[in-house]
Structure 1
Amino acid sequence: MNGFVTRSLDEIRFWSRIMKEHSLFLRLGFRCEDTQLIQEANQFYSIFEQIEAKSHAFTANADPRQIEAFNAEVHNAASHIWVFKRKVLGLILSCKLPGANNFPLLVDHTSREANYFRNRLAELNSGQLEPIHDAIIDENVFFLKIMADHAKFIGHLLDPSERKLVDQAREFSHDFDQLLWQAQDLSSMRPQSQTGPLLSQFLDQNRVSVASLRDFKKTARDLIEACRIKSIIHPLLADHVYREAERFLEIIEMFESSLTRNAPPDLSDWH
């Protein structure tokens, strides 16, 4: 089994679905008169739907050269959707889309994920993944910010009358802001902070908090799907943020396993 192939396909299968769903969520937030933006969002939905389908047509035994070419193709698509998202953010922040329903932070959030995706594909094709101790900090800084954002979005998209759930979302937002600042502090102390005991405690603390948020998201998703709570959260968005928490947990567990073995992760570890 080729680690480069399995890792590349895993990244593309996960993130192409995320990019496809971003296209849908952005489209739903545009005004009916924003026909050009709606058309562009629909085009990106179609592009990433095709990429997702193509990724599932490959197997772990695929020719690495084919996968390298596929990675480059997907990198190009991810770069284009990143440009689109930044353009939309600029329009919102310059008050050119009054009345639209996409939060600026949400658009920025989706653009950060597109940038993460394209950077990972570039790293895979160059064969230059980060050393494990750097990857532990950088992945956590990225995903802790994503989780903090999710808590804020949930809190703002629940109906204000859902006071208990809104309070829980705010508590998660506060907790993950704190975890993010801790991660940024650990990052600024590099390389001295990259000791086994410190990184192990860092991962353990984050894993507990992410698991708790994941469970909250799962409960919210199930309640939304059963129409048992009041919100303007699309059921697919509820599942979307749940899957990203699951992804973060898998990454943390992979890092913990690598620290326990005292060895760098193989390319095939993340699948």
Structure 2
Amino acid sequence: MANEFVSRSLDEIRFWSRIMKEHSLFLSLGFSSDDIKLIDEAKQFITVFERIEEQLNRFSVSSDPQQVKAFNNQVYQSVASIWAYKRKVLGLTLRCEVLSNNYPLLIDHTSREAAYFANRLKELNEGKLVPLPEAIIQENVFFLKIMADHAKFIGHLLDPSERKLVDQAREFSHDFDQLMYQAIDLDHMKPESETPALLGQFLDQNRVSVVSLRDFKKTARDLIEACRIKSNIHPLLADHVFREAERFIEIIDMFEGHLQNSHG
């Protein structure tokens, strides 16, 4: 169990610290040149998460769990800080005190991911390693919303002349909105752990859609990197959303494995 706590903690920090660092870059690029203070703050967070990535290299699966727990706490503080920064930027944007190329939904999206990361660190330090049925559904609600948001961002950042890709992005946006509402309905029904078949079917359905979206993102990323698509999408952003889809597939696999083991 100690080994699982260490490996899970390091895996979450490795994945999400990179995501937080990239959020900082994307936000900094979206501001107007007048917003020097906000740009500087965003760049400071890039440094913060680069340091965390450097510290991460000193740990391994055999590291002392108490040291990892302390590291989780340290990272948690940084994540709480970037969450507060993102909420501040969102407030300024909604009040039209800041004009930027960062959509309010994108800023909110990045803050939700920071809240998720902070919560994962907190849960790990509380010893919550095994997902409960209701946690499985809530985690899917979170990621389905993230995937729906990605499809919306892609659709809005593509050049309007890329009609076929814009239509595909809209279709994915609609599909993931529907899956998210379906997950919310299931969450309200609160299926007990005695209904693994229902949860298994739910996860299978989500996986099929996420794999399709992941493949679409991969194609878009490769075309953007080769300058074969007209868009305002930064190549790193294209890779960023691809990695998050990959992450969701890994989480679905983990949940399915847990369901099979607990009801095998």
- TM bucket (normalised to shorter chain) is over 0.9
- 1:160-239 equivalences in 2 (<5 Å): 160-192=160-192, 195-239=195-239
Tell me which residue corresponds to 1:43: 44
Contact 2:133–2:193 (8 Å) recurs in 1: no
**TM-score normalised to structure 2 length:** 0.97
Deviation at 1:104, TM superposition (A): 0.1
Tell me which residue corresponds to 1:138: 138
2: distance between equivalents of 1:185 and 1:192? 14
Tell me which residue corresponds to 1:31: 32
2: distance between equivalents of 1:40 and 1:69? 25
Identify which of structures 1 and 2 has the higher relative contact order when contacts are C-alpha pairs closer than 8 Å and 6+ apart.
1
Deviation at 1:197, TM superposition (A): 1.2
- Structure 1: runs of 5+ lacking an equivalent: 265-271
SS in 2 for 1:57: coil
2: distance between equivalents of 1:53 and 1:215? 31
Tell me which residue corresponds to 1:82: 83
Tell me which residue corresponds to 2:56: 55
Percent identical:
70
2: distance between equivalents of 1:220 and 1:57? 35
- The CA RMSD over aligned residues, in Å, is 1.4
Equivalences, count:
263
Tell me which residue corresponds to 1:259: 259
Contact 1:13–1:56 (8 Å) recurs in 2: no
Contact 1:30–1:102 (8 Å) recurs in 2: yes
SS in 2 for 1:137: helix
Tell me which residue corresponds to 1:69: 70
Deviation at 1:44, TM superposition (A): 0.3
Cα distance per residue 1:152-209 (max 9 Å; x no partner): 0000000000000000000000000000000000001114587111101100000000
1: distance between equivalents of 2:60 and 2:229? 41
Larger displacement relative to structure 2 (111-120 or 183-192): 183-192
Larger displacement relative to structure 2 (28-37 or 54-63): 54-63
Deviation at 1:135, TM superposition (A): 2.1
Larger displacement relative to structure 2 (129-138 or 167-176): 129-138
2: distance between equivalents of 1:205 and 1:194? 20
- Structure 2: runs of 5+ lacking an equivalent: none
Which amino acid counterpart does residue 38 of structure 1 have in structure 2?
I
Deviation at 1:128, TM superposition (A): 3.0
2: distance between equivalents of 1:57 and 1:192? 41
Distance 1:263 1:58, change over 3 A: farther
Which amino acid counterpart does residue 143 of structure 1 have in structure 2?
F
Larger displacement relative to structure 2 (121-130 or 232-241): 121-130
Deviation at 1:53, TM superposition (A): 2.0
- 1:87-126 equivalences in 2 (<5 Å): 87-98=88-99, 100-126=100-126
Which amino acid counterpart does residue 18 of structure 1 have in structure 2?
I
1: distance between equivalents of 2:213 and 2:36? 36
Deviation at 1:261, TM superposition (A): 1.9
**TM-score normalised to structure 1 length:** 0.94
Contact 2:160–2:166 (8 Å) recurs in 1: yes
2: distance between equivalents of 1:213 and 1:262? 30
Contact 1:152–1:170 (8 Å) recurs in 2: yes
